[in-house]
Structure 1
């Protein structure tokens, strides 16, 4: 990324207790994160060299900031806000690309309509052949249903109308994440998920927080973040959440239900 939004108020509130060197180091680490679009290396000495942190005070500041604002994972030092902004950035790129393709397809379709005139003022030679309407009753029911399915598949749910309380960028990030997981959202599923987000909003969970939590947790459905201080869910709880998410997607998209492996239940306790 060559650009990222810097919210001055958020940054000042989170770093007001830091020294000037620590605040400078924090900015440098964030910019390195956005530049590489990847978690920071676990090797702190390597990070110090990249940040030109040479004095003992500067190197201590790197360690302090990492431990306070980043999370150490197997792939490196991660940052939830940076990950969300990177996902939003790529979601916007995909949405703009999809909108451009849809606009080109619409222009091409318009050029093939009966009586359409090309740029040079000539009617297409194949206008009569390609635009000839079939005789009444000749289109089979299977062809009609196939056309309806194709029309539904062409709807880009990233561009549908959204309520005022839902930011377009957040919604695009969610749709892009589902596409990346090979679980694209259908038009009907999108409608139901908007109702879901409205319900969470009424319970006090902003749509942005619900979407960010679902993307970061790898959920296929929308789930609000856990309350602060609540114990982390067990593996069985996470598995149940995935079952619920999969069942919700099946019902929302109108697909037939299939058997779900729920493991072995210990009834001895």
Structure 2
């Protein structure tokens, strides 16, 4: 298909909650759907390549968009609205092709015998100089918003697939309260953990654990940083040795304490003092 109907109002209402990345992914998937006149194959790696998803966040957004706006059946992601539009296009194209073979579109019987065919009753409309539209022209017929709404009512927006990431089975090494805290944080930020996302994040936690990062620390760091993905805390930098000024200040403080207590002087480690500073 070189053209498909795009109702701006319906689209805006169905996608106003999407992020900029999710909206771009959904738009690209629809364009490919109509161009190929076929549903999206259930191959996440291939789909991510089609829409240009490179980062982990973008790949997770692809999964979210597929789950919300498409239905998986027989190895393909189907969009109900797109399937209806494609089927209607083929019906029009086949009808136009058949009419072309018969010499043009059949004439409509006029209700006014005094008016020749091609004129509208009560108007001065001239006959259509080119009444026959065949082939791809059938796909270019403009449609009004009211006509589209009557023929194809807007598909209700899905509210997820009922998946509850906080209730899934967890490995023995992962505390459920820690995991539920992570799921609740993602939900509060309007980025709920999907089924596919949960599988990948559990694997990430297992990998981090093997590297020596406790799952609780990884989750706490990700929540504190407001991250959408899981990231281990960065190693703290080693404390730098005290400067000469700091060593002199410490020696002076210790000496004052000794004199204040009236004790005899004792040997105090002054360290190495740089006389040039």
Using the size of structure 1 for normalisation, the TM-score is: 0.39
Q: Which has the larger radius of gyration?
A: 2
Structure with the higher helix share, 1 or 2: 1
